[in-house]
């Protein structure tokens, strides 16, 4: 089995996680910029974080034969401080030409607040101006449907944004359809407790067109499982899905979407 982990926060994981992922067949990991679990106090904190994502983490992954890519932005969890967000957004272009940067992400909404909306619009503008792919985080709680709707409206309002170059992550049963209908890609996040369990994710795969769906673990500093993708692949096989169907969802689909960046290359490419 070979797979791509398209959403993982590896700076929060230990080296053993890389080894286990490599043994399970992971060929590439993609790391969206995220909240650190606490608010950073100044833009310099983001400078260091972006340096870590573009310089240090690829070397750590390479020791296990895994290619490391990343996405840059300020996450919606830190978007209430609009002045700080503006400073971070001004910093991002300095890093966009680095070889492992795939685009702008994970932007989106957390509480669907007015400031979050403002910062989301600024970052969609940033992506459009620099012709970058976009990875979007959707709220986890009861606001997911509303937040997803608001995000789709912001994206649709910018005519420069091509839907096939955007992935909306953390979709669930009640949001996947509106994302796919709008022509965007959708990601399902496999969490041990919240978000999608492997069983629910496979139910969704069996219900909707799989052309623009992928699976990720979104493992970070909280309760999460860096092996959620290969474990779900095993569950797919147990349910009788063909090898080719499994490979499509865990390898070919993410490869197809990410390759639109031009920088996404696997070791074999
Ligand atoms: Zn994430």
- CB of 223 within 8 A of CB of 189? no
- CB of 102 within 8 A of CB of 133? yes
How many angstroms separate the alpha carbon of residue 34 from the centre of ligand 1?
6
Inter-axis angle of helices 114-129 and 144-157, to 10 degrees? Answer: 40
How many angstroms separate the alpha carbon of residue 32 from the centre of ligand 1?
6
What confidence category does residue 267 fall into, taking pLDDT thresholds of 50, 70 and 90? confident
How many angstroms separate the alpha carbon of residue 219 from the centre of ligand 1?
7
Inter-axis angle of helices 114-129 and 82-91, to 10 degrees? Answer: 10
What confidence category does residue 233 fall into, taking pLDDT thresholds of 50, 70 and 90? very high
Handedness of CA 128, 106, 7, 94 (dihedral sign): positive
How many angstroms separate the alpha carbon of residue 122 from the centre of ligand 1?
20
**209: phi then psi, degrees, rounded to nearest 5:** -60, 130
Please report the pLDDT score of residue 195 as a whole number: 67
Q: Is the pLDDT of residue 256 over 70?
A: yes
How many angstroms separate the alpha carbon of residue 106 from the centre of ligand 1?
7
How many angstroms separate the alpha carbon of residue 218 from the centre of ligand 1?
5
Q: Is the pLDDT of residue 269 over 80?
A: no
How many angstroms separate the alpha carbon of residue 207 from the centre of ligand 1?
25
Mean pLDDT of the chain: 95
Q: Which residue has the higher pLDDT, 14 or 142?
A: 14
Q: What is the pTM of this model?
A: 0.96
How many angstroms separate the alpha carbon of residue 267 from the centre of ligand 1?
24
Average pLDDT estimate for 45-61: 98
How many angstroms separate the alpha carbon of residue 72 from the centre of ligand 1?
12
Contacts of 158 (CB under 8 A, 6+ apart): 124, 125, 128
- Which residues, by Cβ under 5 Å, contact ligand 1, an ion? 34, 218
How many angstroms separate the alpha carbon of residue 91 from the centre of ligand 1?
20
DSSP string, 164-230: GGEEE-S--TTTHHHHHHTT-EEEEEB-SSSSB-HHHHHHHHHHS-GGGEEEE----SSS--TTHHH
Please report the pLDDT score of residue 196 as a whole number: 81
Please report the pLDDT score of residue 194 as a whole number: 65
Structure token digits, residue 48: 């260091």
How many angstroms separate the alpha carbon of residue 16 from the centre of ligand 1?
20
Q: pLDDT by residue (tens digit) across 149-202? A: 999 999 999 999 999 999 999 999 999 999 999 999 999 999 877 668 889 999
Please report the pLDDT score of residue 268 as a whole number: 76
């Amino acid at each position: 089995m070979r797979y791509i982990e398209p959403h993982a926060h590896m700076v929060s994981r230990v080296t053993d996680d890389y080894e286990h992922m490599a043994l399970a067949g992971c060929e590439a990991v993609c790391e969206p910029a995220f909240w650190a679990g606490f608010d950073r106090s100044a833009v310099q904190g983001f400078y260091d974080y972006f340096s870590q994502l573009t310089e240090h983490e690829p070397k750590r992954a390479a020791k296990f034969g895994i290619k490391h890519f990343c996405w840059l932005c300020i996450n919606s969890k830190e978007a209430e401080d609009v002045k700080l967000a503006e400073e971070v957004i001004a910093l991002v272009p300095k890093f966009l030409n680095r070889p492992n940067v795939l685009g702008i992400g994970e932007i989106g909404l957390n509480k669907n607040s007015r400031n979050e909306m403002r910062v989301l619009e600024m970052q969609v503008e940033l992506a459009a101006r620099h012709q970058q792919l976009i990875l979007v985080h959707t709220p986890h709680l009861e606001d997911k449907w509303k937040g997803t709707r608001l995000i789709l409206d912001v994206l649709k309002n910018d005519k420069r944004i091509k839907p096939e170059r955007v992935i909306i992550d953390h979709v669930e049963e009640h949001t996947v359809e509106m994302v796919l209908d709008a022509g965007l890609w959708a990601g399902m996040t496999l969490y041990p407790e919240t978000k999608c369990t492997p069983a629910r994710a496979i139910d969704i795969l069996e219900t909707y067109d799989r052309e623009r769906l992928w699976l990720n673990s979104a493992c970070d500093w909280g309760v999460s499982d860096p092996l959620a993708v290969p474990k779900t692949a095993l569950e797919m096989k147990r349910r009788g899905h063909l090898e080719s169907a499994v490979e499509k969802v865990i390898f070919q689909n993410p490869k197809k979407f990410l390759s639109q960046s031009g920088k996404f290359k696997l070791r074999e490419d």
